[in-house]
């Protein structure tokens, strides 16, 4: 499997430690600025649409549901394309080197997908039950993500594009591509963990945080081991497509059909997860244990660099505010 070169972490001089800290700080700053651009672009598009509506150029009442769905898709694509283009420019590295797209070997990829689908289905089910418990016992209704669908083939196509295709391509290019691969020189485990945290924070509902973090860890691990972001893109697409189809099944058949589809998806995914875990463990050993680079910085020093980096902290604060402000506002009488 693909791994960066390993070095001996002992006997590093203060100068080596300082240079490594500076390199990590620069990298984190570029990533933080990229996430700020993501947020500012999303906010800018929202403000632009609002301004056009105020001036009568764009009337919400005159737009069909399909047009609104298309407008939301365009805004989503723009918000992710900006950091995807900006981060490599800030780092001075070509996109191709940070988003490797080699075709993963089926012998590794298929069980990796089965394991990730099972983990994703299980953790999302647990998250849904937790949200239900919180709502029933504490009276706090936490918003949950649901794909837009208005009926008809045009809306079906836009729903699949916005819920499965573009999230798989753009989010994986950003988080398992640019974020993860820019941080891999400082340790694979560190890179996977940071990319998973940022991936979770960029999901705009509280109920998505834990599932997105766990899924981000799995995808990051398998992208590192396969040496290809395409691994994450395909798995991400397959899972999101499954969820989208189950949700649209509820639109056509009601809650009973959606519940049946959810249970069937979770059951099959968990069986695939168990079989895939056995296969991967027999072939590759401890599949989630990633090698550390063994560089000058300790784990605590790398973690400290994250929590003291101003652009990263600003981006994280803005993401938290974006997600939590509707929840806090809705809970205040």
Residue 113 within any structural domain of the chain: yes
Nearest to 301 by CA among 4, 28, 3: 28
Q: Is 295 helix (H, G, I), strand (E, B) or coil?
A: coil
Which residues contact residue 56 at a Cβ distance below 8 angstroms, ignoring those fewer than 6 apart? none
Q: What is the pLDDT of residues 35-45, one digit of tens each?
A: 999 999 988 98
Which residues contact residue 44 at a Cβ distance below 8 angstroms, ignoring those fewer than 6 apart? none
Average pLDDT, integer, range 17-22: 92
Give the containing element (helix H, strand E) for 182: helix 180-183
Number of compact structural domains in the chain: 1
Residue 2 within any structural domain of the chain: no
pTM of this prediction?
A: 0.90
Radius of gyration of the chain, Cα coordinates, nearest whole angstrom: 21
Residue 333 within any structural domain of the chain: no
Whole-angstrom CA distances from 204 to 164, 263, 298, 327 are: 16, 25, 32, 11
- pLDDT at residue 330 greater than cutoff 60: no
Calpha distance 19→26 (Å, rounded): 11
pLDDT at 302: 93
Domain that includes residue 117, residue range: 14-325
pLDDT at 59: 64
Residue 9 within any structural domain of the chain: no
Residue 6 within any structural domain of the chain: no
Residue scoring higher pLDDT (86 or 328)? 86
Nearest to 190 by CA among 268, 290, 281, 51: 290
- Return the sign of the alpha-carbon dihedral for residues 188, 189, 192, 193: negative
Calpha distance 5→294 (Å, rounded): 10
Q: What is the pLDDT of residues 134-167, one digit of tens each?
A: 888 877 777 777 787 887 888 899 999 999 999 9
Q: What is the pLDDT of residues 77-128, one digit of tens each?
A: 999 999 999 999 999 999 888 999 999 999 999 999 999 999 999 999 898 8
Whole-angstrom CA distances from 151 to 123, 157, 198, 250, 311 are: 29, 10, 34, 12, 42
Residue 296 within any structural domain of the chain: yes
- For residue 10, report the phi and psi dihedrals to the nearest 5 degrees: -90, 155
Residue 305 within any structural domain of the chain: yes
- pLDDT at residue 292 greater than cutoff 90: no
Residue 279 within any structural domain of the chain: yes
**141 in Cβ contact with 209 (< 8 Å):** no
């Amino acid at each position: 499997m693909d791994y960066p070169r390993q070095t001996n972490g002992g006997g590093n001089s203060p100068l080596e430690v300082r240079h490594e800290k500076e390199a990590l700080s620069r990298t984190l700053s570029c990533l933080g600025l990229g996430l700020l651009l993501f947020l500012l672009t999303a906010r800018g598009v929202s403000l632009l649409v609002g301004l056009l509506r105020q001036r009568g150029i764009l009337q919400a009442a005159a737009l069909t549901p399909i047009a609104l769905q298309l407008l939301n898709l365009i805004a989503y694509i723009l918000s992710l394309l900006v950091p995807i283009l900006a981060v490599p420019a800030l780092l001075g590295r070509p996109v191709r080197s940070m988003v490797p797209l080699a075709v993963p070997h089926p012998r590794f990829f298929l069980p990796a997908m089965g394991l990730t689908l099972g983990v994703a289905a299980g953790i999302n089910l647990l998250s849904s039950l937790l949200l239900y418990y919180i709502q029933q016992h504490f009276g706090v209704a936490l918003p949950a993500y649901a794909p837009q669908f208005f009926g008809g083939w045009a809306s079906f196509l836009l729903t699949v594009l916005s819920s499965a295709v573009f999230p798989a391509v753009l989010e994986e290019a950003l988080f398992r591509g640019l974020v993860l691969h820019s941080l891999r020189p400082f340790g694979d485990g560190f890179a996977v963990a940071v990319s998973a945290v940022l991936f979770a924070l960029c999901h705009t509902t509280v109920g998505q945080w834990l599932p997105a973090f766990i899924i981000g860890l799995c995808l990051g691990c398998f992208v590192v081991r396969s040496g290809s972001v395409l691994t994450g893109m395909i798995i991400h697409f397959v899972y999101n497509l499954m969820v989208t189809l189950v949700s649209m099944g509820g639109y056509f058949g009601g809650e009973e059909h959606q519940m049946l589809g959810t249970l069937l998806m979770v059951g099959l995914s968990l069986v695939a997860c168990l079989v895939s875990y056995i296969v991967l463990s027999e072939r590759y050993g401890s599949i989630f244990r990633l090698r550390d680079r063994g560089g000058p910085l300790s784990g605590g020093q790398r973690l400290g660099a994250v929590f003291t980096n101003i652009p990263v902290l600003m981006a994280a604060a803005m993401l938290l505010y974006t997600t939590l402000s509707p929840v806090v506002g809705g809970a205040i009488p």
